[in-house]
Structure 1
């Protein structure tokens, strides 16, 4: 597999971060990061029981966790090894997913400045008609780039 520099960087940061974050390891153990370019990362995940709430649908805490994680991965695509600390996170819940669904995660680092990075994350469910947005998040992180 021929990987671009951004994808290599994101995977390196993810492999370093994963064992140090029990919540990421638990909820995102099977996530596949399959594409990255500067400022944009795409991943997918097959939804299973650990991502669900008591009603059998995608847990809101999972969507917030994905917003946090994916925003950091988009920041990493800018060549940064440290993806910062959260200063603000917001998630809009628009639909849901259930056990067995495939979700697509697209994260964008809209701006990575000297001290703050602003990201947006879209979580979508694959359907026969295409993609249905499940949740959209925005995430601000304190980063030290210089």
Structure 2
């Protein structure tokens, strides 16, 4: 297991225990890969992640954008992943109960006070991955 993955898992466990919403929405997420600036995870969609129409909820996608961006920042060795200053999510297609989604968070730049991240949420199928949502997230971080 890489040092980056160990760091991300440590930060995730602390974050999860202090954040009821993350624990509720992401209790079954599997973070399976991390390198400096990139985190990859997967989750099988269940009722907790769905809206009233039976499709992946927009609030879930926004929460994942926040969460995965933070985990990508943690891959830089930071214990604190900052606070949100801006978040944007584009919804491109849907996912439903039982679908497997792949989540990739990237910290594009981690500066002295701001970190800029992008997150993709994709649905797995026999033909490959279909992008479901794509987000960008800016966080205030204190690295020094």
* TM-score, normalising length: structure 1: 0.98
**What is the aligned partner in structure 2 of residue 52 from structure 1?**
50
Counterpart Cα distance in 1 of 2:135 and 2:98: 23
Counterpart Cα distance in 2 of 1:24 and 1:17: 8
Q: Deviations over 1:107-145 (max 9, x none)?
A: 000000000000000000001110000000000000000
Match of 1:101 among 99, 102, 106: 99
**What is the aligned partner in structure 2 of residue 117 from structure 1?**
115
Give secondary structure in 2 for the equivalent of 1:35. Answer: strand
Query: Root-mean-square deviation (CA), in Å?
Result: 0.3
- After the TM superposition, which segments of 4 or more aligned residues of structure 1 sit over 2 Å from their partners? none
Counterpart Cα distance in 2 of 1:37 and 1:19: 23
Correspondence 1:75 to 2:73: yes
How many residue pairs were aligned?
Answer: 144
Give secondary structure in 2 for the equivalent of 1:119. Answer: strand
**What is the aligned partner in structure 1 of residue 137 from structure 2?**
139
Query: For residues 32-51 of structure 1, what are the structure 2 equivalents within 5 Å?
Result: 32-51=30-49
**What is the aligned partner in structure 2 of residue 126 from structure 1?**
124
**What is the aligned partner in structure 1 of residue 85 from structure 2?**
87
Q: CA deviation at 1:19?
A: 1.0
Counterpart Cα distance in 2 of 1:133 and 1:23: 24
Match of 1:23 among 21, 24, 30: 21
Q: CA deviation at 1:82?
A: 0.1
Stretches of structure 1 lacking an aligned partner (at least 5 in a row): none
Give secondary structure in 1 for the equivalent of 2:40. Answer: strand
